[in-house]
Chain A
Amino acid sequence: MKYSTSFIAGAAVLCSAQTAFAQTEIEFWHAFTGRLGELVAEQVETFNASQNDYTVVASHKGNYSETLNAGIAAFRAGEQPDILMVFEVGTATMMGAKGAVKPVYEVMEDAGAEFDQSKYIGSVKGYYTSADGNMLSLPFNSSTPVLWVNRDMLEEAGIDPDTDLSTWENVGATLDQLKEAGVDCPMTTAWQSWIQLENMSAYHDVPFATKDNGFGGTDTELVFNSPAQVAHISALGDWAKEGKFIYAGRRNEGGANFRSGECALFTESSAGYAGIKAEAEFAFDVRPLPYWSELVDEPQNTIIGGASLWVMEGQTDEEYKAVAAFLNFLSSPEIQAKWHQDTGYLPITTEAGEKTRADGFYDENPGTDIAVIQMTANEPTNNSKGLRLGSFDQIRGIIDEELEAVWAGDKDAQAALDSAVERGNALLRRFESSQR
């Protein structure tokens, strides 16, 4: 970047006729629509305008599952894109596809691009690194669960809106008060498996699966039916029975209930910020996800959800150079800080977080740094680095089914989690044999 931008822009106009031939074009398939889709398009345009050698063509391929399927189908036909967005639960599938994906650290190395892996936030990149600590994909949008609080509702129920909600014990007492005050929906949740089981396990530093949550090999087994998780699900089950915890659905259906001012407490991704800020007609707060003080003195870190960018095999060296340039562009502090502030997703580099703080964003939007602090407070352990399980989308489906049995009062927490573990393990064994 030796030249000024105006010079480059001028040169680009002058040379556009010639450079049209010389430019390397790369394809980037993503799963974003609406506001997020516009922001991705903006990133791509900024990149394309910032240099003359490469052009990124971004295409929307449906939701996360559909994008992954489009990528798989394209690979089978030999028409794969250069960059494919894959959600976090597809990580093990992508990792297993040796010969279909080219690890990001290799792409960077081969392209001779500058790539300092230590710049990336440990608990964000950790989900996507190999056992020896190399980044296999580039985290793109990452978020982590937090507790959203409707301050007005607490006040109306005669509760101090600044009351300590850092532990589930305190949350339980507050739910009692809310119920007594006649609140119909004291608490609801989004993404129950992700928040109430996966993150709950990491946050209390208990394993979700053996072999370091699957990082150590595909012969991993689920173990989320241990006393800690059973106690948590059991407590939620009791609250559901007493009408203090309202189940709204498997995805983020509960968001509508919270945003309309119907529910007082809501556990949801930190990325819910934009929607809540836009729609909520009440004072709200972001608090750290609660933990059980009877289980731990202080919580570990939470884990992420979201998607990362995978580079596909079978492209030319020129194209990989373009990919490397684009991924580096996405990781730059300016682009990352903007993305973090626009969307509520976590920054992927420490620098971007610091820049956001220096910009005064956290002061203007109190609570937006809670997720970052919660993620980075502690060095991740083997239980809190993330999850790497095959067929994980289906396992989540099984967990959803079993948890629904608890909320409906058909099963107790132990029986439901035992059954989820048994059914999930059968899927893990199938995935293991598909990877041989």
Chain B
Amino acid sequence: MRLQFILSEIGQGLRRNLSMTISVILVTFVSLTFVGSAALLQLQIGKMKDDWYDKVEVSVFLCPQNSSKPTCAAGEVTDEQKADIQAALDAPEIKPWVEKVYFETKEQAFEAFQKQFKDQFWASAATADDMNSSYRIKLTDPEKYQVVADVVSGRQGVEEVQDQRKLFDNLFLVLDRATLLAGGLAIVMLVAAVLLITTTIRLSALSRRRETGIMRLVGASTMFIQLPFMLEGAIAATVGALLAVGGLWVGVEYLVTDWLGASVTWIPYVSTADVLTVAPALIAVAILLSAISSLVTLSRYTKV
């Protein structure tokens, strides 16, 4: 009896304020889409870091012929200098951070270069002597780049120490900024959503003042009086959240997986599975929004 009664009250309330209900749904949909996008961007960054940081190396480029760097004043790197660098890398204080060191000769570098740029006309002009021989150092912890770099940079025979991670940092910066942007928009929209839900609940409560007045009079509990209003807000917000999840799912499926994934294949992308990971959080946010709105409104409009 009770449940059926409450459900019919909710149905009536939602239908009576149909346009408001729809606007609540739309606003939560848009705001939670932004929240979800921000979350997915962060997931994307995390995935790329996981994937790339495992592969990145610190490259210690050794002096080629005719380098203008002061550490290369003696011309092409000598065996003696190489031994010195190798010894520095084997030193006990940096040993724990170094997983593996291998040496790439300039011939190997040339080969890789030719392979990578074989279609480019300018690549054919290069010779093995234009290449650097290098130490490629794989770190146990990519964050410890600086420790290793400090040991080898500035030594005679080292032209340049390069952390491949640096190459990604700009990309991550862009993605982080995009997250902030989406998050900022999300906050604005969430505030709008709370205000809109508040207004909707208030309208609903006012339009049913006669009913709630009688309810109070005959001794219905506060909970019983307020529950339909709370659930109305919660249902509308949850529908909005489900739409947002649907929107993100479609977006990831068609934009990321089908389009980006097909054209730029070397990046690990977020998948629809990640959308499902984010989904419960979005629904929780929706319910939280409507709970806040209910608390603000109902204490004032359906007082015992």
- A and B: bona fide binding partners: no
| B→A interface (CB under 8 Å) | none
